C-alpha cells in the first residue's frame, strides 16, 4: 500500500536539492508567523499555492482541500470568541464577537492553511529518502532520519496488514460500529493486538536483516547523491532570505500585524 504524498514529476521544483526545499518551507512558515493581518497572509497563501501549481501537485490539492477548508472554518469560527475588540458584529454582539476578532480568526485560518499547504508542497515534491538525506545534511542525527524513513516505509506495509486484520475479524463477526463508547473501544482489542503482534514478531528478524545488509548504528552514511547545491538552489534560497528579511522588517515596524488582545 502506497502511503506517500510524493508525486513523481519532472518540474524544476522536483529537481531542487532536498535542503533547498526544506529551507524554503521553513521560510514559508516564518513568513506566516510574521503576519497576522489576513490581507498579508493572503499574499503568502498565494505564494504557496503558486508553488503547488508549478510543482504539478494538483492531485494532492484535490485530496486535501476538504480537510484544510474545514480547519480554516474552525479557526474563523473559534478565534472571535477569544479575542477582545471594540467594533461589535451585528447579531453576534451578545456573544462578544467583534470585527477585530473575526479579522484575527481569518488571519489565523489563513496562517493554518499556509502551514498545511506548505507541508503538502514539500511532501509532494520530495521523497522520504531525500528528506532523510536533507535532514542529515542540515545537522539532524542520521540515525533519527534513518528511523523516520524506515518507519515511513513500514507504515505502508502495516496498513496493508491492517486491512487483512480488519477483514479477518469482520469475517468472524466483529462489528466495531455498534455498541456504546466503552464497548466500541474494547472491540478494538482484536484489531490492534494482531497488528502489533505481527509487527513485533518481526523485530529481531528486521534487525538481523538490516545488519546482514551492512547497516550498523555506529557507521556513518555516505549518500550517493553528492548533495551539491546548484544555481537554482542558490536562487531559491536567496529569494527566500530576501522575503523573510523583508517580512521580518515589516513586522518590526508593525505592518501586517493585528493588535490582538485576549
Partner 1 sequence: MHLPQAACDSRRWWADLADVWRDTRLIVLTAQIAAIYAAILIPFKAGIPIIPGFVELRPANAIPIVASLLFGPAAAWGAGIGNVIGDCFGTLGPASVFGFVGNFFFGYLPYVLWGHLGWLSSGQPPLVKSWRQMVEYGVVCVIASAACAGIIGWGVEWLGLLPFVILAPAIFFNNIVMGMFLGPPLLGFLYPRVQLWRLRYEDIRQSGSSSFQPSSPPRTHDSLFKDVTSENLSYSILDCRGLSFQYASDSKPVLRNVSFSLAPGEMVVLLGRSGSGKSTLCYACNGLIPHLVPGVFSGTMRVCGRDTVEDPVWKQAGRVGLVFQDFDTQLVATTVEGELLHPLEYRDPPLSSEEMQQRVVHALSRIGLEDCTYRDPMTMSGGQRQRLVMASVLVQEPPLLVLDEPGSDLDPAGRAQLREVLQNLREEGITVLMTEHDDGQLAHADRVLVLDQGEIVWKGKPETFMRHPQLMRDWGLRPLALTECFEGLSVGRLPISVQEAWTRADALNLILNPPASVLDDTLRLGEMPACLRKMALPLIHVEGASFQYEDQLVLEEVSFAIQPGDFLALLGRNGSGKSTLARLLNGLLMPTHGRIVVDGLDTSATSMNELAKRIGLVFQNPDHQIFADTVWEEVAFSAKNMGCSEHEIAVRVQEALAAVGLPCEGSHDLDPFSLRKGERQRIAVASVLATRPTVLIFDEPTTGLDTDETNRMMAMIRELNQQGHTIVMITHSMRLVATYARRCLLLHGGRMIADGTPREIFADTALIRAASLEIPDISLFSQRWGHTLLTVEEVKASLLPGPP
Site for partner 1 in 112-131 (CB under 8 A): 112, 115-116, 118-120, 122-123, 127-129
Nearest to 223 by CA among 62, 25, 12, 18: 18
User: What is the rounded distance in angstroms from the CA atom of residue 187 to the CA atom of residue 177?
Assistant: 9
Within 33-92, the residues that bind partner 1 by CB under 8 A are 33, 36, 63-64, 67-68, 70-71, 74-75, 78-79, 82
Q: What does the block give as the cell for 132?
A: 532523510
Q: What does the block give as the cell for 171?
A: 469475517
Within 128-167, the residues that bind partner 1 by CB under 8 A are 128-129, 141, 143-144, 146-162, 164-167
E strand segments, 89-180: none
Considering only 211, 230, 242, 255, the residue that binds partner 1 (CB under 8 A) is: 211
Considering only 10, 90, 94, 200, the residue that binds partner 1 (CB under 8 A) is: 200
| Minimum CB distance to partner 1 smaller for 8 or for 94 | 8
Within 228-257, the residues that bind partner 1 by CB under 8 A are none
Q: What does the block give as the cell for 164?
A: 487483512
On the 0-12 / 13-18 / 19+ scale of CB atoms within 10 A, 71 is middle
Tally of CA atoms within 13 A in the half-sphere of 199 that contains its CB: 16
C-alpha distances (whole Å) from 233 to each of 7, 15, 117 are 20, 9, 21
Q: Does 93 bind partner 1 (CB under 8 A)?
A: no
Q: Does 214 bind partner 1 (CB under 8 A)?
A: yes
From the list 50-58, 205-213, 231-239, 243-251, the region that binds partner 1 by CB under 8 A is: 205-213
Considering only 53, 54, 140, 196, the residue that binds partner 1 (CB under 8 A) is: 196
Q: Does 261 bind partner 1 (CB under 8 A)?
A: no
Q: What does the block give as the cell for 212?
A: 546482514
Amino acid at each position: 500500500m502506497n502511503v506517500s504524498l510524493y508525486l513523481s514529476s519532472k518540474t524544476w521544483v522536483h529537481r531542487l536539492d532536498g535542503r533547498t526545499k526544506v529551507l524554503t518551507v521553513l521560510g514559508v512558515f516564518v513568513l506566516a508567523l510574521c503576519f497576522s493581518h489576513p490581507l498579508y497572509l493572503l499574499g503568502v497563501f498565494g505564494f504557496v499555492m503558486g508553488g503547488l501549481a508549478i510543482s504539478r501537485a494538483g492531485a494532492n490539492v484535490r485530496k486535501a482541500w476538504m480537510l484544510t477548508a474545514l480547519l480554516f472554518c474552525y479557526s474563523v469560527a473559534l478565534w472571535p470568541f477569544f479575542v477582545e475588540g471594540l467594533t461589535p458584529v451585528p447579531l453576534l454582539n451578545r456573544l462578544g464577537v467583534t470585527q477585530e476578532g473575526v479579522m484575527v480568526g481569518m488571519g489565523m485560518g489563513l496562517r493554518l492553511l499556509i502551514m498545511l499547504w506548505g507541508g503538502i508542497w514539500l511532501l509532494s515534491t520530495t521523497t522520504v529518502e531525500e528528506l532523510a538525506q536533507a535532514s542529515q545534511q542540515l545537522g539532524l542525527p542520521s540515525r533519527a532520519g534513518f528511523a523516520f524513513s524506515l518507519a515511513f516505509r513500514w507504515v505502508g506495509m502495516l496498513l496493508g496488514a491492517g486491512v487483512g486484520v480488519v477483514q479477518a475479524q469482520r469475517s468472524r463477526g466483529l462489528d466495531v460500529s455498534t455498541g456504546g463508547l466503552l464497548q466500541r473501544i474494547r472491540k478494538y482489542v482484536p484489531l490492534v493486538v494482531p497488528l502489533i503482534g505481527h509487527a513485533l514478531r518481526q523485530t529481531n528478524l528486521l534487525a538481523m536483516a538490516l545488519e546482514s545488509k551492512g547497516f550498523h548504528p555506529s557507521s556513518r552514511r555516505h549518500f550517493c547523491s553528492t548533495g551539491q547545491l546548484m544555481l537554482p538552489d542558490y536562487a531559491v534560497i536567496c529569494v527566500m532570505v530576501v522575503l523573510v528579511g523583508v517580512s521580518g522588517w515589516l513586522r518590526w515596524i508593525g505592518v501586517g500585524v493585528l493588535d490582538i488582545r485576549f
